[in-house]
Structure 1
Amino acid sequence: MQQMFLKEGFIMLTIVIVFYGIDLEKSISLSTLMKNIKKVTSASGINVILYDNNKESSQNYFNILASNVELDLCYKHNPDNPGIAEAYNFAFEKAKTLNSEWLMLLDQDTHLTSEYLTEVVSKIKNNNLSEAAIVPQIKDPVTHHLISPVLKDTKETVFPGTHKNLMAINSGMVVSTKFLEQINGFNLDYPLDYLDHWFFQMIKEKNQSVNVLKSGLLHDLSVKNLKKVSNQRYENVLFYEKKFIIEFQPDQLRHYYLHSMLRLAKCLLVSPSKIKIILKIMLKDVT
């Protein structure tokens, strides 16, 4: 692991980007972060962790990157590809050692803007936030429809302000490390899929609130596209969806099976190869 930490100064924000399936230099999140962060604030006070789940190391690229930027950087290579929960926990532990009160979570393909980064830094500098998390408005890059955050119960989209009982995707979310301490970090039982659902379930159970930003980000939620998502990934999503419902929403099981029947009908028209996967998970014991 290669790391370059500031010798002085207060780390107000730790940022982690998790990579898999693409080289670091091709990451939209990394390139747009590097492009916009200097417009927003001094590099002092921000630590960036690049957590690389690819089989091949990008240590050489990291060394070049680190020598050409003023940011406080850390690189971690994990070819075992354990998912994102382990990467987030690595970043959480690093944030604690730096006394960082906030942790920004990023996938590799979120398009960051100076407006988003400015709003995040401004809220953190005010130092009076009591919310468990800060989330941007996430829009589909093609339709520009708002896809996150939504109300957990009705799935209606939510606009700027402080709210409870929300659901949002991981990427772009900024999490209070104090709240993470309360819930003992991220749950490794949800290594990738439904980790976001678990996190917002914890916020609900702890009766905490979420601050929704005015700024929006573009993010391709490819897992929602039946034609794009691989059969293996689709099976994982369905597995952890059922696991989550059984563990936290057992009263929704009847609705789950009814919804699965609708999925079968949709897959018959859009992606027939996934029909067997749906039936497999419907009948599978996931406990």
Structure 2
Amino acid sequence: MKFVAIIILYHPEQDVLLGNIAHLQDAGWGVIIIDNSPQSCQGKLSSVIEYRHFPTNIGIAAAQNRGLEVAVSLQYDYAMLLDQDSRLSVAFLNAVSARSVTAHQLFPDMAAYGPTIISEFNNKAVKARIQRPESCDNGFMACRQIIASGKVIPLSVLQITGDMEEALFIDGVDHEWCWRAAQRGLRIIGDTQTHLLHRQGEDRKKILGITFKVGSPIRLYYQYRNILLLSRRGYVPRYWKLRNCLALPLRWIINGWCLDNKALRRKYMHKGLLDGINERAGPYQPGKQV
């Protein structure tokens, strides 16, 4: 079986990127780089790496789709999507290649396989609080959704699931694809026996005893807008709709009054609400008014 990693870049840390590439090559994996950064980094990479540069930033969904297209054209069997801030090792890659094939053999209807995610902020496993995965045999779990980084996709399944939804641009892309796969009769398989160190968000801040993820202000636009867009869809789980819609006022208070760049955060949340209500998708357009 041929495995390839598709790494999506946006202003990456060079040391982390080059270290991950070295581990992938040592493990015998192919490497595809999709770079949404303004400046190309191709000159720092080996010529054997498949590199595509999109300096205008086409979004994570479109970048993943371009990478998957390259992987299919090169006749790989499995592709692992990776964010630039995940940390790889040869041992992890060897385990993932073996475990994902085993999972696919046990679950022929598998749309994707994902390792257990370990947060870089506290070195603890990231676990769902609601709708927890169902345990299966051999340390595998049936999940509602998994995040993009570390997600291994049997490329043949794309004929059933379709591509990532480019209109969402960034937030919610990974979960929406999983829910769509489930709607089409496929399963998402998690693994308790492999672990990927991953940085979710830019920071953490504790307010009134509750720890909140902190991201860049513009991400709030996509989060607010995409929650409203996805909440209209029948195949999106009801618990997700309720949890996220009910949390919008709290997120407004925390981001708009308790974090840095309060005014800018309120601006992006407001625009996200308006565009979500009016069903506007695609990249953020600052000049478009309601």
Give the shorter-chain TM-score range: 0.7 to 0.9
| C-alpha separation in 2, matches of 1:282 and 1:83 | 20
Farther off after superposition, 123-132 or 177-186: 123-132
Matched, 1:57 2:43: no
2: CA distance, partners of 1:209 / 1:267? 35
Equivalent residue in structure 1 for 2:111, among 124, 129, 132: 132
Unaligned runs of 5+ in 2: 205-211, 280-290
Task: Give the partner amino acid of 2:174.
Answer: D
Partner of residue 79 from structure 2, selected from 103, 108, 120: 103
Q: Does 1:17 align with 2:3?
A: no
Q: Deviation of residue 136 (structure 1)?
A: 0.9
Equivalent residue in structure 1 for 2:20, among 24, 28, 32 = 32
Q: Does 1:263 align with 2:241?
A: no
Amino acid at match of 2:126: I
What's the TM-score once normalised by structure 2's chain length?
Answer: 0.77
Q: Which stretch shifts more, 242-251 or 85-94?
A: 242-251
**Alpha-carbon distance between aligned partners in 2 of 1:162 and 1:117, rounded to the nearest angstrom:** 17
Checking the alignment, whether the CA contact within 8 Å between 1:115 and 1:215 is kept in structure 2 is no
1:3 equivalent in structure 2: none
Q: Which amino acid aligns with 2:157?
A: F
Q: 1:237/1:95 Cα in 2 relative to 1: closer, same or farther (>3 Å)?
A: same
After TM superposition, give the deviation of residue 156 of structure 1 in Å.
Answer: 3.6
> Would the aligned equivalents of 2:134 and 2:143 in 1 still touch at CA under 8 Å?
no
| Counterpart Cα distance in 2 of 1:219 and 1:132 | 22
Paired position in structure 2 for 1:186: 164
Aligned AA (1:16): I
* Residue aligning to 2:120: 141
Match for 2:222: what amino acid? N
Is it true that 1:234 corresponds to 2:220 in the alignment? Answer: yes
Distance 1:105 1:146, change over 3 A: same
Deviations 1:94-133 (A, max 9, x none): 2222222211101111011233211122235657352211
Match of 1:122 among 83, 98, 102: 98
| C-alpha contact 2:115 2:150 (8 A) present in aligned 1 | yes
1:215 to 174, 185, 194: 194
Specify which of 226, 231, 239 is matched with residue 245 of structure 1. Answer: 231
1:134-177 deviation digits (Å, cap 9, x = unpaired): 101111112122225x38xx254677744334222111111121
Q: Closer, same or farther in 2 for the Cα pair 1:91/1:254, shift >3 Å?
A: closer
Distance in 1 (CA, whole Å) between partners of 2:60 and 2:6 is: 10
Match of 2:31 in 1: 48
What root-mean-square deviation, in Å, do the aligned CA atoms of Structure 1 and Structure 2 show? 2.9
Kindly state the Cα deviation for residue 254 of structure 1 after the two structures are TM-superposed: 6.1
- Contact 1:48/1:73, CA 8 A, preserved across alignment: yes
The one-letter code sitting in structure 2 at the alignment partner of 1:128 is Q
Aligned-residue offset at 1:49: 0.6
- SS of 2:126's equivalent? strand
Structure 1 counterpart of 2:37, which letter?
A: N
Aligned length: 260
**Deviating more after overlay: 251-260 vs 74-83:** 251-260
Asked if the contact 2:20/2:88 (under 8 Å) is kept, the reply is: yes
Q: Which runs of 5+ in 1 are unaligned?
A: 1-10, 67-71
Match of 1:84 among 41, 54, 60: 60
Q: After TM superposition, where is structure 1 displaced by more than 6 Å over at least 4 residues in a row?
A: 157-160
Residue aligned with 2:84, SS: coil
Q: CA deviation at 1:22?
A: 2.8
Moved more, 245-254 or 193-202: 245-254
Distance 1:263 1:176, change over 3 A: same
| Aligned residues of 1:260 and 1:278 also touching (Cα < 8 A) | no
Matched residue SS, 2:5 = strand
- Deviation of 1:263 after TM superposition, in Å, equals 2.2
CA contact (8 A) 1:242 1:286 kept: no
3-state SS in 2 of match to 1:164: strand
